[in-house]
Amino acid sequence: MLTKEIQSAFEAFARGGNIASVNQITAGLINATYLIETDKSEKYILQKINTFVFKNPAQLMENIVGVTKHLSEKIKSAGGDYKRETLNFLPCQEGTYFYRDENGGAWRMYIYVDNALTYNKPKNSETFRSAGKSFGRFMKLLADYPAETLHETIEKFHFTPSRYENFLKAAEKDVKGRRAEVQKEIDFVTEREADTHKLTDLIAEGVLPLRVTHNDTKLNNVLFDTASDESICVIDLDTIMPGLSLYDFGDSIRSGANTGAEDESDLSKIGIDLELFEAYADGYLSETADSLTDVEIDNLAFGAKLMTFECGMRFLTDYLDGDVYFRTTYPEHNIVRAKNQFRLVEDMEAKMDKMNGIVMKYKEKYKK
């Protein structure tokens, strides 16, 4: 496992000590990730950045280091443990926070957070409430960070009108001749065109503020303490960009409060789990109620619907394009995913009054 490439990258960041063991972590889908333990019993995460996805590692790391240093200062001033409550990246010998190897590969390294684990799905409502608190605290601590100084690491990542335009182009080109078989799903999207620009219209009107957003708020991007089972740290910071709080809240609900798996083909198993939705809203608003505006809070439930709709639209777009973006394991995988997300959208629409009522309950509880 210890290659010349890994050895040279480690040495670029090393602060003493030699590599005693290397273990590849295969959970992530984008970067190549390795757990390094030294002969001094120090542990680090060494990552080779996927420069096909993240074409400018300098800007990527400028975002991440700026945000994590800001978080560290906030955590320290509150008496917290910054070594466990945020990621801590190391500069290489040249002073930059990424290293270019002889083949042009880009690497980074940060201190491993020991005695922590992740979950792919909530094991109970308390797990999801704790994740809501963690992502909420992340948002609150960065409320005064100048979002406009951040680079857009993936252009128009959650800009739903752009996703809709891409969908229309894919449906028109129909490069694989699949349009006829998915006309029902195409109609589902076009009937909800107004949803695609609701939030961007509010941005244009000046009533929704851009914030520092994580943009990939799946449950497995939160570390939980192995002893207390409390959430302690938000990880996977590559998509930190200017965005909306509604994107982060919405994507957590989309991925964590679905009663079935994201690629479940039996649509009778798909719906919004209101108990999990309430638990997450409770945790999230317990941290953010005083830092979010009324317009933000009042649109949180819609944000969950929009992020689910956007994700389904992206799966459908990729199916029409011939499965060129998302990894698939069988030919119908993307259209199964799209139908899954659209069924979740339908259930959210049926339960939107209840979802809004839950948000208002915790807005009243926590907003001073």
pLDDT (tens digit per residue) in 240-265: 999 999 999 999 999 999 999 999 99
Q: What DSSP letter does each residue of 126-191 carry, written as one string? A: HHHHHHHHHHHHHHHHTTTS-GGGS--SSTTTT-HHHHHHHHHHHHHH-TTS-GGGGHHHHHHHHT
What is the model's pLDDT at position 14? 84
pLDDT (tens digit per residue) in 143-201: 999 999 999 988 878 889 999 999 999 999 999 999 999 999 999 999 999 999 999 99
Q: Name the helix (H) or strand (E) containing 103.
A: none
pLDDT (tens digit per residue) in 340-361: 999 999 999 999 999 999 999 9
What is the rounded CA–CA span in Å between residue 141 and residue 73? 10
- If we measure between CA atoms, which residue out of 291, 62, 338 comes closest to residue 182? 338
CA angle, corner 153, sides to 143 and 317, nearest 5?
Answer: 110
What is the model's pLDDT at position 29? 66
Q: Which CATH number fits domain 125-366: 3.10.270.10, 3.30.565.10, 3.40.50.1100, 3.90.1200.10?
A: 3.90.1200.10
Helix axes 300-321, 183-190, angle to 10 degrees: 140
What is the rounded CA–CA span in Å between residue 270 and residue 110? 38
* Residues 254, 219 contacting (CB under 8 angstroms): no
Q: How many residues does the chain have?
A: 368
Three-state secondary-structure class, residue 1: coil
- If we measure between CA atoms, which residue out of 241, 362, 259, 240 comes closest to residue 301? 362
Q: What values do phi and psi take at 240, rounded to 5?
A: -65, 120
Long-range Cβ contact pairs of 35-38 (< 8 A, separation 24 or more): 35/112, 36/6, 36/10, 36/109, 36/112
What is the rounded CA–CA span in Å between residue 87 and residue 252? 20
CA 261 to centroid of chain Cα atoms: 17
Q: What DSSP letter does each residue of 28-40 carry, written as one string? A: -SSSEEEEEEETT
Q: What values do phi and psi take at 322, rounded to 5?
A: 100, 25
Q: Do domains 4-55+90-114 and 125-366 have the same CATH topology?
A: no
| Residue 8 pLDDT class (50, 70, 90 cuts) | very high
Provide the token pair at 317: 């777009």
**Residues with Cβ within 8 Å of residue 282, at least 6 apart in sequence:** 129, 132, 362
- If we measure between CA atoms, which residue out of 234, 219, 249, 247 comes closest to residue 358? 249
Write down the pTM of the prediction: 0.93
Q: Where are the domains of the chain?
A: 4-55+90-114, 125-366
Region 24-30 average pLDDT:
78
In angstroms, the Cα distances linking 86 to 12, 73, 141, 223 are 23, 10, 11, 10
Tell the CATH topology of 4-55+90-114: Phosphorylase Kinase; domain 1 (3.30.200)
